[in-house]
Structure 1
Amino acid sequence: MRRLLSGMAALALAGSLAACGTSSDSGSSGDSGGVDKVKVGVIPIIDVAPIYLGQQKGFFKNRNIELTMESGQGGAAIVPGVVSGQFQFGFSNFTSLMIAQTKNVPIKTVAAGVASTGEQGKDFGAVVVTKDSPIKTAADLVGKKVSVNTLKNIGDTVTRESVRKAGGDGANVNFVEMPFPNMQAALEKGDVDAAWVVEPQLSTIKAAGGREVASTFVDAADDLTVAAYFTSTKLLADDADLVKRFTEAVNESLAYADANPEEVRTVLSTYTKIDAALGAKLVLPKWPTQINEPSVQTLAKLGEGDGIFSGTPDLEKLLP
């Protein structure tokens, strides 16, 4: 995240966000019968399966929205993309969104994105080690090198909490930044002692003999809401009807995905490189339609304690 907001802060301070509404070839369609062309910045991971499923099922089309998903590398691209108008909506984990909010980036969440299953050993994110590693519990991570996909973000926050709950010093863990797909090789070569991963890397590493030592989202908070869909405050002010219709379609998509896991596994192959065999083994997250606000408050408190934020996140401004 050290690369995240050098550009975002500039965008927020510039004040010239005229392009932040819908794209020039789209318009409000609430009463006119027209169609809004909407771009959503997403990360091509299991978390966003519901929006692809909702697109297939016509949930957005039924609300006069022509939906296009564009892949970003993460919050560093998606948050400023939403603020500048490249995307009308985006998907990001809550720690990234809170970092942005403490930098006064003008964004607002509109719908839940993805949540923990709440089950130890049966969640979609965890810290893993090789099968012969001497690390047995999260407390053994003290003084060890642990890979995360982004430093000073949700990965190291929830991992530190797992260490603390296991009786260790959460401040004394050495995090190494690398992309999720590189973590298995780094583990096997001994470049890191443990890896914080999410699906599909979690199932891939376990299939190769790896062991899970901490269900970090579960340790962080009960039924943690991990991520959300969001928009710019300008679009919210300029076209509240579009935001309302998009939110309704997302909520219908989340509910459908949560009730139809096999269709989720099928849709994964349409936007990721996950093959059918691996898709059948993945631990799916939960997709509730409501943001669990107490869990986000806990995540904010943990991140603040770990020095991730420049100030105290204002959840009243960020949450719907």
Structure 2
Amino acid sequence: MRNAKRTALTTAVAAALALTSSCSALGGDKPTAVAGSQLETSGLTVSIISTVDLAPLWAAQDAGYFAAEGLNVKIDIADSGAKTMTKVIAGDANIALTTWTLLFVAQSEGGADFRLVADATTATPKSNKIVTVPTSPVKHVEDLPGKRIAYTSKNAASDVLTQSVMRDRGLDRSTVTWVPVPLPNMAAALQQGKVDAAYMPEPFVTDAANTVGAIPIVDIGSGSTLDFPLTGYATTATWAQANPKTIAAFQRALIRGTAAVRDDRGLLERLIVKYAKVSETTAKLMELPGYGAQLDARRLQRVPDTLHDLGIIPSTVDASRMIVHQPTS
């Protein structure tokens, strides 16, 4: 079912997320910037999908960590991980936040030659779930075959991890009707009976529970998909080769931002309320994804290996070849 040849990046990696937000210039005290002449370029455009995955980047921008590295970071908001990658390929952005599954599919198909810059999030317990509602015919995960499942897009994490969970349980994936639904619309689609179940990350799990009484039937952040790599930052091989010092500066600032949100739940909540437009109540109640900045080749290899095992790509991709130099601290 998943072996059909995809011929273009935009169709292979269709919209994975559809949240919108506004990332304006940030205030606060700024550490003194290092000399920009140390970098290949001081201006850096980062294309993002505005989700809670961005908390470390917002923290780094807000606290002036990028400026301290001599970087003037411009945030460009796209409406999907596919489009952030497209912008990097076209030269409209330098670095993209994207979904790892979409990136490795594109790499496998020759859509571009990517290099992996930094990590962003992983699937921690209770942060990503397949949910249903009381009126749905789906009561347990074993009921999924033959039903309509909402996902964000083909080959996105919602697609790949739902398939992985079903495969692990010996369930027939070929009988599922996959229904692409933007994340903000999934709760309503469940309530209206347009789908029988839906894959949701936070904060949508918490919002759906509050608004339509959504009930989880399986926790994606457990079993074989525990700590599965979800999102991260990437660029093209050409840009990475030409700008190693600029990339290193971006990585160092992002590491500091990641440490900040890991150490301060209150800071993280304020950032996602401000930039991801999550309500204060949801921010306090939601389960957080795993935040990280430094890439590990063995862990990231799980993504292309899973894509290959599911028949989504014809052969696995060597993640280690794609990872740029990672800071040691």
Q: Answer whether TM exceeds 0.5 for this pair.
A: yes
User: Which of residues 51, 55, 58 is equivalent to 1:49?
Assistant: 55
**1:141-194: CA deviations, max 9, x gaps?**
111110001113321111122123334223432211111111111101111000
8 Å CA contact retained: 1:224, 1:292:
no
User: Which of residues 199, 203, 211 is equivalent to 2:202?
Assistant: 199
For 1:230 and 1:162, the matched residues in 2 are separated by 27
8 Å CA contact retained: 1:102, 1:314:
no
In the alignment, which residue of structure 1 is the partner of 2:280?
276
1:28-67 to 2 correspondence within 5 Å? 31=37, 36-67=42-73
| Residue 73 of structure 1, CA deviation | 1.4
User: Which of residues 65, 74, 94 is equivalent to 2:80?
Assistant: 74
2:139 equivalent to 1:136: yes
SS of residue in 1 equivalent to 2:131: strand
**How has the CA–CA distance of structure 1 residues 80 and 192 changed in structure 2, closer, same or farther, with 3 Å as cutoff?**
same
**How has the CA–CA distance of structure 1 residues 153 and 251 changed in structure 2, closer, same or farther, with 3 Å as cutoff?**
same
Equivalenced residues, count: 298
SS of residue in 1 equivalent to 2:289: coil
In the alignment, which residue of structure 2 is the partner of 1:25?
none
8 Å CA contact retained: 1:35, 1:66:
no
In the alignment, which residue of structure 1 is the partner of 2:25?
none
In the alignment, which residue of structure 2 is the partner of 1:264?
268
For 1:267 and 1:164, the matched residues in 2 are separated by 37
**How has the CA–CA distance of structure 1 residues 271 and 3 changed in structure 2, closer, same or farther, with 3 Å as cutoff?**
farther
For 2:43 and 2:120, the matched residues in 1 are separated by 21
For 1:6 and 1:116, the matched residues in 2 are separated by 25
2:91 equivalent to 1:88: no
For 2:188 and 2:39, the matched residues in 1 are separated by 52
- Structure 1: 4+ residue segments shifted above 4 A: 1-4, 6-9, 28-35
User: Which of residues 157, 162, 174 is equivalent to 1:159?
Assistant: 162
TM-score normalised by L of structure 2: 0.83
User: Which of residues 296, 299, 314 is equivalent to 2:300?
Assistant: 296
| Residue 262 of structure 1, CA deviation | 1.5
- Unaligned segments of structure 2, at least 5 residues: 14-33, 325-329
1:164-243 to 2 correspondence within 5 Å? 164-208=167-211, 209-243=213-247
User: Which of residues 94, 118, 121 is equivalent to 1:111?
Assistant: 118
SS of residue in 2 equivalent to 1:60: helix
What fraction of aligned residue pairs are identical, expressed as a percent? 23
SS of residue in 2 equivalent to 1:280: helix
8 Å CA contact retained: 2:47, 2:78:
yes
**1:24-76: CA deviations, max 9, x gaps?**
xxxx9654589712111111111111101111111111101111211111122
| Residue 6 of structure 1, CA deviation | 4.9
8 Å CA contact retained: 1:125, 1:197:
yes
| Residue 107 of structure 1, CA deviation | 1.4
In the alignment, which residue of structure 1 is the partner of 2:105?
99
**How has the CA–CA distance of structure 1 residues 147 and 33 changed in structure 2, closer, same or farther, with 3 Å as cutoff?**
closer
For 1:108 and 1:184, the matched residues in 2 are separated by 35
8 Å CA contact retained: 1:4, 1:76:
no
SS of residue in 2 equivalent to 1:111: strand
Name the amino acid aligned to 1:88.
N
Name the amino acid aligned to 2:77.
S
**RMSD between aligned alpha carbons?**
2.5
For 1:33 and 1:194, the matched residues in 2 are separated by 49
| Residue 302 of structure 1, CA deviation | 2.2
Name the amino acid aligned to 1:308.
I
